[in-house]
Amino acid sequence: MVNRAFHKAVERYRSLVDEIAALPELAPLVRKLVDRREGPSYPVDTPVVFNRDLDELSPGSIKMILVADNPGRREQARENRRYLVGPSGKIAEKFFRDRPELGIDFRKNVLILNKTPIHTPRTAELKGLCAMDKTLAAAVASSQRVMAELLGEFYSALTEPARPGAKTKTPQAPFPVWIIGYSEMKKGGIFEVYTNTLISLCASSPGLKASLYFYRHFSMNSFTTDLKQQARPGESAAESLGRIGAAYRERILG
């Protein structure tokens, strides 16, 4: 069965990226951010990145949604244009590979989104990009709103019951949605717009809120270190993840 709602969300996502990519200010100002950073330079191939994994993922194979921050150096490279393919992605792959009891193949079963598709060398530099140009500041804010709405659309598409008589079914709730990295989701943070939009969505969709789990970044092993420190004796990985992710959810969303 064709999941029309899923493909409609994919096309809205693609349209958002195309709209932002057309902004003439974007590429040169991202280039300026790259040039003034410490460390080696790199070509800016894709200043706003559509995760092309969505052109290959089958909705029926997706078991969870994961939301990261924004595309980094490797994600925007011409040969990639995919999310979480750098060091953080490798840590995420290893995490699930080492825990087969979770039943997740990171590259086959996870729909990866970002809070914004706009690339910067480091996430913190989104603030610098916004300070450079009012049009880009508006684009960053608008992209967060749309990406949060798209999360809701993908969630609905993947959890709604199949129609009677259909040969295949989409996954049923509870359907986990992991939000990776929450430090900038606070008031005044880089991703405040994303947070506020998510809160509004949850107000009308209690099922979505119950499926949200918040965690630290995969980078620098923050995610795995936090999980190890907070795990309780005799608790399974799934139980630890559920308890920790829900506690952080209440901290962020109330």
Residues whose CB is less than 8 angstroms from the CB of residue 130 and which lie 6 or more positions away in sequence, other chains included: 136, 137, 140
Tokens describing residue 217: 């970044």
- For the chain, how many helices (H) and strands (E)? 11, 4
| CATH number 3.40.470 given to 4-253 | yes
Tokens describing residue 157: 């598409």
pTM exceeding the 0.85 threshold for the entire prediction: yes
User: Which pLDDT value is given to residue 160?
Assistant: 79
Residue located via tokens 């003439």:
24
Taking residues 101-116, report their average pLDDT. 97
Residue spans per domain, the chain: 4-253
User: Which pLDDT value is given to residue 39?
Assistant: 80
User: Which pLDDT value is given to residue 174?
Assistant: 65
Mean pLDDT of the chain, nearest integer: 93
56-99 pLDDT tens trace? 999 999 999 999 999 999 999 999 999 999 999 999 999 999 99
Q: Is 144:198 a contact under the CB 8 Å cutoff? A: no
Taking residues 88-117, report their average pLDDT. 97
Q: Is 175:211 a contact under the CB 8 Å cutoff? A: yes
pLDDT more than 70, % of the chain: 94
User: Which pLDDT value is given to residue 37?
Assistant: 85
Residues whose CB is less than 8 angstroms from the CB of residue 117 and which lie 6 or more positions away in sequence, other chains included: 13, 16, 17, 20, 48, 49, 50, 51, 70, 71, 143, 147
**Strongest mean pLDDT among 105-114, 154-163, 169-178:** 105-114
DSSP state string for 16-85:
HHHHHHT-TTHHHHHHHHHHTSSS-------SB---GGGGT--GGG--EEEEES---HHHHSTTT--SS-
